[in-house]
């Protein structure tokens, strides 16, 4: 049976993505809902007397970034990589417009929106999709595409059975037909390899095959998002892939949480502790060996193996990461907010630098509450009252720096230094995004007509080219200026920088600080 | 012109000295026509911030705090046109001490006459903004050679004149800048020892309350310090200063790129090998090594670090602006936690030019036009968190996790500062009555105490320090793994 989920959406279990299945339960959901009631006192741990205001968890941000207008703010950009889990659970929430406006300001172009089966089919065979009309229109008004995550069954359907699969397909058809042309991407369940799906891989494969076919029939332009795994779960994926027609889905999704490990690190704490040591589902019990390779792989290596697996079935499908973050809780597995911003930008660039990942949807846009120790609440780009965290600003700048540009090559691709190049054909400019996983390193870039450096928060520094074309620049010679021969030595750190210069700008790692 | 020389030679600290010594500057100033240049702060902007950080009032802003650890190199003087804006910025950043170069050439522009008039109002202005000064008596004289006995006497006369004039307003006097190499002192160690001995005695005689700052070395130059200490009376100086620049190495790292490249690879290229032990020490190991040597000659003197920074140019040895914040805060806390260092004076408040690719320009906590860099705010927050506190203990002190506790003796409240040099680590904090975790830019997060369960707070750490406040002892331990075992 499906686990009981609270009214108002699946958020109690979904808030932390894979975290939630084993780690967070109703108590935190109750706290979250209490916290969302703005101005209300939180109940104490026993649910009795409210605690005095000075004892409540809280956060104050004193850091602000002036964001310039985003040139693509009003446009719908189907090819944009910048998605988000919008965490719009209450379709009648009064601040949806503000919520979406803030996403728009952050440069988000795609939203992952639950189409919660149990809320839509409250009466058997009747689908109330009207509340979604307003939501879909609101997304579009703010320049956002969305895809629907079709999940969470009503009590009277069990999608693990043939009858349940048929019911799910009818529900899917109803949604797809209703929003045809407005929502053309549909996801078949959330994390069916873990606690959100209490069935077997075989049962999921049966449902995904049938629903994929139903969606394609209902809207031939529709794309079907399948697998949608917690972790980069190759064990489970290969079981499912053997059982479903390869053309029943179009895009493969996964949620490669790995906190607190870095994306580049060949070690994944979360997969070790929450996948290998604790079985993700009854099916996984006894199936995950202690030397399970993804434990000792970077995010890019895990993704590479997923692509290799897909290649055994046909042309690899595009990958979308439909959940990801480093939760900023003050507790085990947590990450400081400043570091969260670095890691998320690095993940985006690495993902796009693989050439296989097309979109990323961080989990999520908004904290689920104010409990700073809660993994399910400390998930957002913004706090529960919509105050931006560092990551919000870093995302907004990343989107401004990279939207409309295309990935062209990786000048450096580890193990210590990364330099990934995006091209703006219109402006004739390249943007190199670079960082190191060491404490410090250097990148030497060619300076043909001036170089602009931007950090994570948009601080801009300009280095002119002081010569005439074809001549060395007319600057003072010194070891402690950048080279006079038309290059700039850029110090790197664990926080990425954007280096903007003329097309064909080249970049070479300088492992040592001197010349 | 004086300003130009000043900036050329001083801005890099050790590096500036070296470079000038080798005569390799092909500076525009040397070739430029003699015409008035605009003040540095009026040069066009070449960098633009998007961020801003809210700073609450500093509760000690108006006070003169002789015990404060927070200094700065003033890098200006009575003739600096925006001096009051700079002083306001220093006050807002929580700076309480300024190292003021009092150039011999400028003060004794006419032989035997000391032009101290401009300095009177300037010293008072600094004090008005809550800043005490250290006078650094340095710079070549047009008339005297301090390497000779006559020059020493002339220097002592200068020192006496200044000490007498500013008695009660300036009580700390530094004998020369970086006399251990480079161009600031072209004499021998023996000649500097003679100068220090005589000037120290002259200053003490003129003002028995005065403190003399000696050695003032580029690098943590332990061999040179030993050589000097053999030649000077123990009581001729009171405070030992050094400038342990090490870009881009982190303070905790047992590898000092700058020392390898400059001290070993350049200053002492003929006599030292790349295996020189000082280059394979962390900042604190170097400092302890210096302390061991000093103790051989008598009771250990306090150490003041009268120059330090991680300069932020886009060029070799440069550091990113965001990272400068972290490194500077860590350096301060390590220095104070050592029990050896009393004060730290970064070089300097503001960039000395607008060339983003130039090591000599990108030296500030602010840009040349007094727009703050991240490090300015990090300094301001650090000062707000730590001023009035004294170092109490180190719960964890390396090799790659640090947790240092300070205590305010008047209130009994504690502040814990913690970070890791790894990409991540965790600290278990005892929560006696609610804990506030504050990052380097003042963003605060509060975790109440659970009245029913004695539940510790597991604080994730990064290379950017966090400040933790709350009632009680603030006991902390490193947690070896991120989660399961906690």
Structure tokens of A362?
Answer: 């961080």
Chain B residues closer than 8 Å to A440 by CB: 248-250, 319, 323
Better-scored residue on pLDDT, B215 or B27: B215
Structure tokens given for B284: 């604190």
Rounded Cα–Cα distance for residues A252 and A320 (Å):
6
Contact state of A481 with B12 under an 8 Å Cβ cutoff: no
| Total-model pTM | 0.93
Which of B448, B456, B476, B486 to mutate: most A Cβ within 10 Å? B448
Smallest Cα distance from A89 to chain B, Å: 26
A45 belongs to a structural domain: no
Query: Which of these three, A384, A402, A420, is where a domain ends?
Result: A402
Residue A475: how many other CB atoms lie within 10 Å: 19
Give the ipTM of the model, two decimals please: 0.93
Q: What is the CATH number of the domain that holds A505?
A: 2.60.40
Residues A343, A390: one domain?
Answer: yes
Stretch A338-349: mean pLDDT: 98
Contact A6, A26 (CB under 8 A): yes
Contact A182, A136 (CB under 8 A): yes
Q: Is the model's pLDDT at A484 over the cut of 70?
A: no
**Which of A402, A430, A457 corresponds to the end of one domain?**
A402
Q: How many helices (H) and strands (E) does chain B have?
A: 13, 19
- Cβ–Cβ gap A455/B322 under 8 Å: yes
Q: Closest-CA residue in chain A for B424? A: A260
Count CB pairs under 8 A between chains A and B. 237
Q: State whether A285 and A424 are in the same domain.
A: no
Residue-wise pLDDT tens digits, B243-287: 999 999 999 999 999 999 999 999 999 999 989 999 999 999 999
Task: List chain B residues with CB under 8 Å of A65.
Answer: 50-52
Question: Collapsing DSSP states into helix, strand and coil, what is residue A243?
Answer: coil
Q: CA A279 → CA A52, A254, A408, B153, distances in Å?
A: 40, 18, 40, 82
> Helices A337-353 and A299-311 sit at what angle, rounded to 10 degrees?
30
Contact residues, chain A, for B313 at CB < 8 Å: 480-482
* pLDDT tens by residue, B356-405: 999 999 999 999 999 999 999 999 999 999 999 999 999 999 999 999 99
A321 and A436 housed in the same domain:
no
Which residue intervals of A63-179 are DSSP H helices? 96-105, 117-120, 130-141, 162-178
Write the DSSP string, B14-50: HHHHHHHHTT----HHHHS-S-PPPPGGGSPP-EE--
Beta bridge partners of B435: B447
Question: In chain B, which residues have their Cβ closer than 8 Å to the Cβ of A334?
Answer: 458-460
Query: In the numeric block, which tokens belong to residue B291?
Result: 């302390």
Kindly report the backbone phi and psi dihedral angles of residue B64, in degrees, each rounded to the nearest multiple of 5, phi listed first. Answer: -90, 125
Kindly identify which residue of chain B lies nearest to residue A272, measuring between CA atoms: B484
d(CA A339, CA A390): 9
- Chain A residues with CB under 8 Å of B320 CB are 455, 491-493, 495, 497
Q: Are residues A410 and A369 in the same domain?
A: no
Instruction: Give the tens place of pLDDT for each residue, B158-200.
Output: 999 999 999 999 999 999 999 998 889 999 999 999 999 999 9
The CATH number, out of the four listed (2.60.40, 1.10.3210, 2.40.30, 1.10.10), of the domain defined by the range B391-479: 2.60.40
Structural domain includes residue A5: no
Helix (H) or strand (E) holding A146: strand A145-151
Distance from CA of B246 to the nearest CA of A (A): 11
For chain B, which residues make up each domain, given as ranges?
2-22+54-388, 391-479
pLDDT at A475: 59
A468 burial level (CB within 10 Å; 0-12, 13-18, 19+): exposed
Whether residues A165 and A260 share a domain: the answer is yes
Q: B51 and A65: CB-CB below 8 Å? A: yes
Q: What is the pLDDT of residue A12?
A: 33
Residues A165, A187, single domain; the answer is yes
Give per-residue pLDDT as tens, A226-283. 999 999 999 999 999 999 999 999 999 999 999 999 999 999 999 999 999 999 999 9
- Check if A460 contacts B (Cβ < 8 Å): yes
Kindly determine whether residue A455 and residue B320, on different chains, have CB atoms separated by under 8 Å.
yes
Closest CA to A448 of A466, A432, A460: A466
Q: Which chain A residues contact residue B15 at CB under 8 A?
A: 480
Is B64's pLDDT higher than 70? Answer: yes
> Would you state the pLDDT for residue A208?
98
Four-residue CA torsion sign, A489, A490, A491, A492 = negative
What pLDDT is stored for residue A55 in this prediction?
84
Question: How far apart, in whole angstroms, are the C-alpha atoms of residue A19 and residue B255?
Answer: 40
pLDDT tens per residue, range B402-439: 999 999 999 999 999 999 999 999 999 999 999 999 99
Q: Are residues A386 and A450 in the same domain?
A: no
Q: Which residues of A touch B462 (CB under 8 A)?
A: 335-336, 338-339
Q: Tell me the mean pLDDT in the region A46-74.
A: 81
Q: Tell me the chain A residues in contact with residue B442 when contact means C-beta distances shorter than 8 Å.
A: 62-63
B441/A482 CB distance under 8 A: no
* Residues A388 and A430 placed together within one structural domain of the fold: no
Distance (Å, whole) CA B375 – CA B326: 8
pLDDT at A2: 28
Percentage of chain A modeled with pLDDT above 70: 86
Q: Looking at chain A from residue 38 to 97, which residues have their Cβ under 8 Å from any Cβ of chain B?
A: 44-46, 51, 55-68
Closest-CA distance, B451 to chain A, in angstroms, reads 9
Same domain flag for A133 and A223: yes
In sequence order, the 6+-apart residues with CB closer than 8 A to the CB of B218 are: B13, B14, B17, B178, B180, B181, B182, B242, B243, B245
Residues B104-142: tens digit of each pLDDT: 999 999 999 999 999 999 999 999 999 999 999 999 898
Which tokens hold the place of A271? 């997969």
Instruction: With beta carbons under 8 A apart, name residues in chain A contacting B437.
Output: 330, 372
- Residue A54: the pLDDT is 72
- C-alpha Rg value of chain B to the nearest Å: 22
Q: Is A27 on the interface with B (CB under 8 A)?
A: no
CATH of domain B2-22+54-388: 3.20.20.80
- pLDDT at position A466, please? 75
Contact (CB, 8 A) for B199 and B152: yes
pLDDT tens digits, residue range A191-200?
999 989 999 9
The residue segments making up the domain with residue A118 are 11-36+67-402
Final residue before a domain boundary, out of A356, A378, A402: A402
**Where is pLDDT greater, at A14 or B226?**
B226
Q: Look at A60 and B247 and tell me if their CB atoms are within 8 Å.
A: no
Instruction: Report yes or no on A54 lying in a domain.
Output: no
Strands across the sheet containing A357-360: A83-85, A110-116, A145-151, A185-188, A223-230, A251-255, A319-321, A357-360
User: What is the number of structural domains in chain A?
Assistant: 2
Nearest by CB to residue B314, choosing from A46, A476, A489, is A489
Same domain, A445 and A298: no
My answer on whether A387 and A410 are in the same domain is no
CA A151, CA A167: separation in Å to the nearest integer? 12
- Shared domain for A235 and A91, answered yes or no, is yes
State the smallest CA–CA distance between residue B175 and chain A in angstroms: 28
CB A373 to CB B447 under 8 A? yes
Domains B2-22+54-388 and B391-479 share a fold: no
Alpha-helical (H) ranges within B373-472 are 374-386
- Which pLDDT tens digit goes with each residue over A1-46? 222 333 333 333 333 444 333 333 333 433 333 333 322 223 333 3
A165-174, A445-454, B466-475: the lowest-pLDDT one: A445-454
Inter-chain contact A480–B53, Cβ cutoff 8 Å?
Answer: no
CATH number where A215 lies: 3.20.20.80
């Amino acid at each position: 049976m499906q686990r009981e989920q609270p009214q108002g959406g699946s958020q109690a279990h979904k808030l932390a993505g894979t975290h939630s299945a084993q780690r967070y339960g109703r108590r935190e959901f109750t706290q979250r809902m209490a916290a969302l009631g703005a101005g209300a006192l939180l109940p104490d741990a026993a649910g009795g007397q409210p605690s005095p205001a000075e004892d409540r968890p809280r956060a104050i941000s004193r850091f602000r970034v002036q964001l310039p207008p985003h040139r693509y703010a009003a446009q719908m950009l189907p090819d944009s990589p910048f998605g988000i889990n919008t965490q719009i659970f209450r379709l009648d929430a009064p601040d949806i417009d503000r919520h979406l406006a803030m996403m728009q300001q952050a440069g988000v172009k795609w939203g992952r929106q639950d189409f919660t089966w149990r809320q839509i089919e409250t009466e058997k065979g009747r689908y109330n999709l009207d509340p979604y009309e307003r939501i879909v229109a609101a997304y579009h008004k703010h320049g956002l595409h969305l895809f629907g995550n079709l999940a969470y069954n009503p009590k009277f359907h069990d999608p693990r059975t043939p009858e349940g699969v048929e019911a799910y397909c009818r529900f899917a058809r109803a949604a797809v037909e209703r929003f045809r042309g407005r929502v053309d991407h549909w996801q078949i369940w959330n994390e069916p390899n873990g606690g959100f799906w209490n069935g077997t891989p075989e049962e999921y494969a049966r449902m995904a095959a049938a629903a994929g076919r139903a969606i394609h029939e209902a809207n031939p332009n529709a794309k079907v998002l399948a697998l949608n795994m917690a972790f980069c779960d190759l064990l489970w994926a290969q079981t499912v892939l053997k059982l479903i027609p390869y053309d029943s889905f179009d895009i493969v999704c996964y949620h490669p949480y790995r906190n607190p490990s870095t994306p580049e690190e060949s070690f994944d704490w979360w997969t070790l502790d929450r996948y290998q040591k604790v079985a993700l589902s009854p099916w996984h019990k006894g199936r995950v060996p202690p030397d399970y390779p993804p434990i000792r792989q970077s995010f890019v290596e895990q993704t590479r193996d997923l692509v290799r697996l897909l290649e055994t079935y046909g042309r690899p499908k595009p990958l979308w990461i439909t959940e990801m973050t480093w939760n900023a809780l003050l507790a085990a597995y947590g990450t400081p907010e400043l570091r969260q911003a670095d890691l998320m930008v690095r993940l985006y660039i690495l993902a796009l630098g693989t050439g296989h990942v097309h979109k990323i949807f961080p989990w999520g846009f908004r904290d689920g509450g104010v409990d700073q120790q809660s993994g399910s609440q400390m998930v957002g780009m913004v706090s529960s009252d919509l105050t931006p965290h560092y990551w919000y600003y870093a995302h907004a700048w990343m989107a401004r720096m990279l939207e409309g540009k295309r990935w062209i090559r990786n000048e450096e691709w580890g193990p210590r230094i990364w330099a990934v190049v995006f091209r703006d054909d219109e402006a004739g400019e390249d943007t190199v995004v670079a960082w190191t996983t060491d404490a410090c390193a250097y990148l030497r870039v060619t300076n043909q007509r001036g170089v602009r450096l931007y950090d994570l928060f948009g601080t801009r520094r300009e280095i002119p080219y002081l010569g005439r074309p074809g001549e060395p620049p007319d600057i003072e010679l010194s070891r402690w200026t950048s080279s006079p021969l038309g290059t700039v030595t850029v110090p790197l750190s664990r926080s990425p920088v954007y280096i903007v210069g003329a097309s064909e700008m080249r970049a070479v790692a300088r492992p040592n600080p001197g010349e | 012109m004086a300003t130009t020389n000043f900036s050329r030679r001083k801005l890099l600290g050790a590096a500036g000295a070296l470079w000038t010594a080798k005569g390799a500057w092909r500076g525009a100033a040397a070739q430029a026509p003699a015409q008035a240049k605009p003040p540095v702060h009026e040069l066009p902007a070449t960098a633009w911030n998007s961020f801003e950080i809210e700073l609450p009032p500093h509760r000690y802003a108006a006070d003169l705090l002789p015990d404060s650890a927070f200094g700065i190199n003033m890098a200006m003087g009575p003739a600096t046109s925006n001096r009051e804006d700079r002083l306001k910025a220093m006050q807002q950043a929580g700076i309480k001490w300024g190292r003021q170069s009092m150039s011999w050439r400028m003060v004794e522009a006419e032989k035997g006459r000391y032009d101290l008039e401009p300095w009177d109002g300037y010293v008072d202005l600094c004090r008005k903004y809550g800043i005490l000064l250290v006078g650094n008596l340095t710079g070549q004289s047009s008339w005297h050679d301090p390497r000779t006995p006559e020059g020493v006497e002339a220097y002592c006369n200068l020192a006496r004149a200044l000490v007498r004039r500013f008695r009660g307003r300036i009580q700390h006097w530094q004998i020369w800048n970086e006399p251990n190499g480079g161009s600031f002192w072209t004499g021998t160690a023996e000649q500097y020892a003679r100068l220090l001995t005589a000037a120290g005695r002259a200053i003490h005689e003129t003002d028995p309350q005065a403190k003399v700052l000696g050695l003032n070395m580029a690098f943590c130059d332990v061999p040179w310090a030993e050589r000097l200490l053999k030649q000077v009376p123990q009581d001729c100086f009171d405070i030992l200063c050094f400038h342990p620049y090490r870009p881009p190495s982190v303070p905790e790292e047992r590898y000092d790129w700058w020392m390898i490249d400059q001290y070993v690879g350049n200053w002492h290229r003929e006599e030292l090998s790349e295996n020189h032990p000082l280059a394979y020490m962390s900042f604190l190991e170097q400092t302890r090594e210096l302390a061991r040597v000093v103790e051989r000659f008598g009771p250990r003197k306090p150490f003041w670090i009268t120059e330090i920074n991680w300069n932020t140019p886009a060029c070799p040895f440069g550091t990113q602006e965001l990272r400068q914040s972290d490194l500077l805060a860590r350096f301060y806390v390590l220095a104070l936690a050592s029990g050896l260092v009393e004060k730290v004076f970064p070089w300097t408040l503001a960039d000395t030019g607008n060339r983003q690719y130039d090591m000599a320009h990108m030296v500030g906590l602010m840009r040349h036009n007094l727009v703050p860099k991240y490090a300015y705010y990090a300094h301001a927050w650090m000062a707000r968190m730590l001023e009035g506190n004294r170092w109490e203990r180190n719960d964890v002190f390396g090799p790659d996790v640090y947790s240092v506790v300070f205590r305010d003796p008047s209130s009994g409240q504690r502040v814990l500062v913690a970070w890791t040099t790894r990409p991540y680590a965790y600290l278990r904090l005892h929560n006696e009555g609610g804990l506030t975790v504050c990052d380097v830019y003042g963003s605060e997060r509060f975790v109440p105490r659970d009245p029913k369960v004695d539940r510790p707070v597991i604080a994730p750490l990064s290379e950017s320090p966090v400040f933790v406040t709350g009632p009680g002892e603030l006991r902390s331990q490193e947690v070896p793994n991120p989660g399961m075992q906690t």
